[in-house]
Amino acid sequence: MPEFSRLNECSDWIELDFVEREATPEPLMKLSIHLHAAGLSLTDTVSVLERFGVERCRSTIHNWVQKADLQPTDGKDPNHVAVDETVSQLNDQRYWLYAAVNPETNEFLHVRLYPTRTIVVTKQFLTELQEKHRVADAVFLVDGAPWLQAALFEQNLRFQQVTHGNRNSVERVFKEVKRRTNQFANHFRRATHRSAENWLQTLAFAWNQLI
């Protein structure tokens, strides 16, 4: 499978400095993190390890993914940035997933999970985005959400309201996120905000390796 090969090729991105007295071979730990991040359920990832003669529980693999602390690579210089937010359910509470995507490559640039959506929160997201990537001269593609447009205006960032076209890239990305967050809720009903956001950062990392 091409996706499997590409996951193996990016194993060097995963640092296992967090490992202490772990009996699992590092290549299998990295494989487990890759497989779960790319869409395999924890249960199915456990089954893959069993084929190699290694028995680990779902919570162990979940902890590996959390501690690996993967996230999209910094230092991008896109011409356009599609920004949007979508509702994500965490336990019984609604959160808003903010994402910035390069519409030319469909890469995640930045991902954050917030308990609300306001101009202040949006400005915080944009500030972090600017700290990670060279986007000061980029044109931001947004919908009609007033909190998005107001935050961009206050930070002197150029933006266009786009209904279709390039902004559709972030919608395609969100479609995958929503599919995966359904799995996330099913697997981690007692998840904390931090663990949820770490998982979403890992998802973004894996997505960028596979596109």
pLDDT band at 203 (very low <50, low <70, confident <90, very high): confident
Rounded average pLDDT over 136-155: 94
Rounded CA-CA distance 66/33 in Å is 9
Radius of gyration of the chain (CA): 18
pLDDT tens per residue, range 93-142:
888 889 999 988 889 999 999 999 999 999 999 999 999 999 999 999 99
pLDDT tens per residue, range 22-79:
678 888 888 888 888 777 888 888 998 999 888 998 888 888 888 887 888 899 999 9
DSSP H or E stretch at residue 26: helix 26-37
Domains of the chain: 2-68 (no CATH), 80-191+199-203 (3.30.420.10)
76 near 95, Cβ under 8 Å?
Answer: no
pLDDT tens per residue, range 181-190:
565 443 345 6
How high is the pLDDT of residue 28? 86
| Closest to 60 (Cα-Cα) out of 10, 90, 19 | 19
